[in-house]
């Protein structure tokens, strides 16, 4: 299976990087063809520009060459995996920016010319997986709606026509985790990726 992993953390020595490596180990063990987009490693630009916003509902909404490459990677992917820390109750701004600039009309959706209703464009995506760490405990994350999780497992899933299987792998209260707890989570991630089919 062709898998696209999108990672967002500014520190290459972070625990998030360890999670990414566990993802890649599990996917390799299962024999999947994997590509990684490391947003901070690419120094990914910010949100959509004024010109991109104006082009959003045109037949050519992608104006940046890096974004165009990512659109093609999504177009050929059968699974999308998002790895990131939850900050301010959602994904890092750089990942939200990636979604805004990549998941545009012609890829993530189309608009019916007559009704202007959205039609799903990611019917080829079979799996959506989110893996995130939280500084807060689970009860608090639920209280504030866990917006990153909702974006991946609900909003993005609608673009697959509701057909993609979703999985969410959270690690709550990261700062209070023991070394053993952190290792156990990495193993959980590795095993989950090995089982992805």
Residue 70's CATH number: 3.40.50.360
Name the domain count of the chain. 1
pLDDT for res 134: 98
Q: What percent of the chain has pLDDT over 90?
A: 89
Is the pTM value of this prediction over 0.85? yes
Name which residue leads in pLDDT, 46 or 84: 84
Q: Which domain holds residue 136?
A: 2-194
State mean pLDDT over 105-130.
Answer: 92
**pLDDT tens per residue across span 137-189:** 999 999 999 999 999 999 999 999 999 999 999 999 999 999 999 999 999 99
pLDDT at 111 over 90: no
Mean pLDDT along residues 40-55: 91
pLDDT, average across residues 4-17: 97
As a whole number of angstroms, the distance between CA 99 and CA 73 comes to 13
**pLDDT (mean) for 108-113:** 87
Angle at 156 between CA 44 and CA 104, to 5 degrees: 55
For 21, the enclosing helix (H) or strand (E) is helix 15-29
**Average pLDDT over the chain, rounded to whole?**
95
3-class DSSP state for residue 193? helix
What pLDDT, on the 0 to 100 scale, is given for residue 112? 83
Q: Please compute the mean of the pLDDT values over residues 46-53 and round it to a whole number.
A: 90
Structure tokens at 77: 């992917």
Asked if pLDDT for residue 31 goes beyond 90, the answer is yes
Residue 142, SS3 per DSSP:
helix
pLDDT band of 118, cuts 50, 70, 90: confident
The average pLDDT across 103-111 equals 91
Q: What is the pLDDT of residue 157?
A: 97
Residues 59-81, mean pLDDT to the nearest whole number: 95
Continuous H helices in 30-160: 50-55, 65-76, 93-102, 138-143, 147-150, 156-158
Query: Residue 114's pLDDT is what?
Result: 85
The tokens for 151 are 């974006």
CA distances from 163 to 125, 142, 144 (A): 8, 25, 27
Confirm if 89 and 147 have CB atoms less than 8 A apart.
yes
């Amino acid at each position: 299976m062709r898998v696209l992993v999108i990672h967002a953390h500014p520190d290459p020595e972070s625990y998030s990087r360890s999670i990414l490596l566990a993802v890649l180990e599990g996917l390799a063990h299962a024999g999947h063809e994997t590509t990684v987009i490391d947003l901070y490693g690419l120094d990914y630009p910010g949100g959509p520009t004024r010109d991109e916003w104006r082009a959003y509902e045109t037949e050519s909404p992608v104006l940046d060459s890096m974004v165009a490459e990512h659109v093609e990677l999504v177009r050929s992917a059968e699974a999308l995996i998002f790895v990131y820390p939850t900050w301010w109750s959602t994904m890092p701004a750089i990942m939200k920016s990636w979604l805004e600039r990549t998941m545009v009309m012609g890829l993530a959706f189309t608009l019916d010319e007559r009704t202007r209703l959205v039609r799903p464009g990611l019917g080829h995506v079979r799996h959506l997986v989110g893996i995130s760490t939280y500084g807060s405990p689970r009860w608090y994350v639920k209280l504030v709606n866990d917006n990153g999780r909702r974006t991946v497992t609900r909003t993005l899933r609608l673009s697959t026509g509701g057909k993609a299987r979703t999985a969410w792998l959270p690690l709550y209260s990261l700062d209070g985790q023991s070394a053993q707890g952190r290792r156990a989570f990495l193993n959980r991630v590795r095993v989950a990726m090995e089982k992805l089919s």
